[in-house]
Chains A and B, each alone.
Chain A
Amino acid sequence: RNKTTCLLKADIISTVEFNHTGELLATGDKGGRVVIFQREQESKNQVHRRGEYNVYSTFQSHEPEFDYLKSLEIEEKINKIRWLPQQNAAYFLLSTNDKTVKLWKVSERDKRPEGYNLKDEEGRLRDPATITTLRVPVLRPMDLMVEATPRRVFANAHTYHINSISVNSDYETYMSADDLRINLWNFEITNQSFNIVDIKPANMEELTEVITAAEFHPHHCNTFVYSSSKGTIRLCDMRASALCDRHTKFFEEPEDPSNRSFFSEIISSISDVKFSHSGRYIMTRDYLTVKVWDLNMENRPIETYQVHDYLRSKLCSLYENDCIFDKFECVWNGSDSVIMTGSYNNFFRMFDRNTKRDVTLEASRENSKPRAILKPRKVCVGGKRRKDEISVDSLDFSKKILHTAWHPSENIIAVAATNNLYIFQDKVN
């Protein structure tokens, strides 16, 4: 019985990420494993079936560890996966748990040499005395084998728990961020990293905020942002100084003091920050909203979208069951015109920034058949509930969609619903 529960927990997906072309989709889970899906080539015969994603490779990225010195259990859960842009036939990705970042190389082998002189077909050594002729080994096709090998291990640089990794646009460096510090690494060097942000106070009693997410600008390799538990975002320029404790820009929406409550700070904590593909905007997710900010305007966001405002009247119970601390992620589509984020009851939301229309969809096997078009959902807030609507009190808070991903150029999305992965595509006309 216990073993079954353990397996289910390990299967919980903790991160989802398309690579830069969208050909590959990686998932990481609580059990420290990575599963990579590859889009199949579109065949001329089946025009109506656009490329589907099939399992390409799977490997154990991280193992559970115990830090005996600090009496600390280090979970193998993969917090984030980030792909490197492809530079040769192999694929490279970074995966991280709470403490250690690893660079993995995923490569294909579809040929093998045959006709050795010193070995027979089974690999056993031949007696040199029996060899009378020489032959040249030839490469023969074999069944495709995909191998994943750890190429670098970036360890021992984080006292606190890593929440983000981000590959720089220079493709030579990347950053890893924990609750209080951000480090800059060179891919080739594993025994040192530069600390570029340190918000640890001299006296821990004075701690008021932590770093919740961080990301490099998509084009400017000197610029990055990090968000905090107090709902603020700081933009830093690495050219200004070696230690970027002083921000270049500070994004914060002023709060109406009369609206303040016990929950204000908790629900303002930013759980994710993402640059738009254009690099002009950043999107942040806090407990109830998604906000879009213009990098040129620090005093307030340019757009605010309500994800599930009806939860405002449930904050007490959401605090008691810890759901108020759930960390939802948010994503842009390829053209930055639509944003998506998850909610509860296996619902996820999409907001069209141009038309200002939004939709709620559900990722669940019970309520939709494969290849059927998803039906929009609606949560009923009070009073009369229509037939198709779901009341706030019936929402299942254990079914949370924290992780989603959007293909870089097409309308294909990946949605992680606990231990299930859903891939949705635009319908073919």
Chain B
Amino acid sequence: AGGPECDRCGLVEDTQEKEGILPERAEEAKLKAKYPSLGQKPGGSDFLMKRLQKGQKYFDSGDYNMAKAKMKNKQLPSAGPDKNLVTGDHIPTPQDLPQRKSSLVTSKLAGGQVE
């Protein structure tokens, strides 16, 4: 265990004493190397809040119309690559929202052959 990553995560020093580095610690080092700004607290509130907010879509017709009025002749910014994440200045448009699925199609389990 040596190399540039060690200086950033600082964890490897502790475990060098042990027989081998815990696989999780090595994985953690990899992750922190890729995402240095990853939250200090392990697990924690970020995940939980994201979990609690599952399903939230941010289309608001009031916001949309006000933004349209404000923009006047300017083009509305279109959705970025991640259509599900709507933040900040981006005003969602009806085209950005996922289309409602049509319901009432029989499950393939109900129609299929039992082998």
Chain A interface (Cβ < 8 Å from any Cβ of B) = 2, 6-7, 10-11, 13, 27, 29, 31-33, 35, 52-55, 58, 60, 63-64, 66, 70-76, 98, 160-161, 179-180, 204-205, 207-210, 229-230, 259-266, 269, 312-316, 319-320, 325, 365, 370, 419, 421
Contacts and interface: CB of A to CB of B under 8 A. Distances in A.
B25 A261 contact: yes
25 contacts: A6-B102, A10-B107, A11-B107, A31-B105, A32-B103, A33-B107, A35-B109, A35-B110, A71-B56, A73-B56, A75-B55, A207-B49, A207-B52, A229-B43, A259-B22, A262-B24, A262-B28, A262-B31, A264-B42, A264-B43, A266-B42, A266-B43, A312-B23, A313-B26, A365-B115
B7 interface: no
B55 A73 contact: yes
Contact of B55 (A11, A63, A72): A72
Contacts of A264: 24, 42-43
Given A10-B101, A73-B57, A210-B52, 13 more contacts: A55-B110, A55-B114, A70-B56, A71-B60, A73-B56, A209-B48, A259-B22, A261-B27, A262-B24, A262-B32, A265-B42, A325-B47, A365-B115
Contacts of A265: 42-44
B70 interface: no
Contacts of A63: 103
Interface in B18-52: 22-28, 30-32, 34, 38, 42-45, 47-49, 51-52
A55 to B, nearest CB: 5
Nearest to B29: A316
B54 interface: yes
A93 to B, nearest CB: 16
A210 B105 contact: no
A255 to B, nearest CB: 12
Given A72-B55, A72-B56, A210-B48, A263 B24 contact: yes
A393 to B, nearest CB: 15
In the A-B complex, list the 5 residue pairs whose CB atoms are closest, starting with the nearest. Answer: A265-B43, A58-B110, A315-B27, A261-B24, A313-B23
B106 interface: yes
Nearest to B56: A72
Contact of A207 (B25, B45, B115): B45
Nearest to A204: B49
B72 interface: no
B42 A261 contact: yes
Contacts of A76: 103
Interface of B: 22-28, 30-32, 34, 38, 42-45, 47-49, 51-52, 54-60, 99-110, 114-115
Contact of A421 (B30, B34, B52, B109): B109
B47 A266 contact: yes
Given A10-B101, A75-B55, A313-B26, A263 B42 contact: yes
Contact of B45 (A72, A205, A314): A205
A5 B48 CA distance: 29
A263 B115 contact: no
Contacts of A180: 52
A75 B56 CA distance: 11
B112 to A, nearest CB: 8
Instruction: Pick the most buried of A33, A60, A74: most chain B CB atoms within 10 A of its CB.
Output: A33
Instruction: Pick the most buried of A98, A230, A265: most chain B CB atoms within 10 A of its CB.
Output: A265
Given A53-B114, A261-B22, A419 B108 contact: yes
Given A210-B52, A262-B32, A312 B27 contact: yes
Contacts of B59: 71
A370 B27 contact: no
Contacts of A60: 103-104
Contacts of B52: 160-161, 179-180, 207, 210
A325 B48 CA distance: 11
Contacts of B32: 262
B24 A259 contact: yes
Contacts of B99: 2
Instruction: Pick the most buried of B42, B57, B109: most chain A CB atoms within 10 A of its CB.
Output: B109
B48 A6 contact: no
Nearest to B25: A261
Contacts of B30: 316
Contacts of B42: 260-266
A6 B109 contact: no
A205 B56 CA distance: 19
Nearest to B22: A259
Contact of B57 (A7, A29, A71, A365): A71
Contacts of A11: 107-109
Contacts of B28: 261-263, 315-316
B27 A263 contact: yes
A262 B35 CA distance: 13
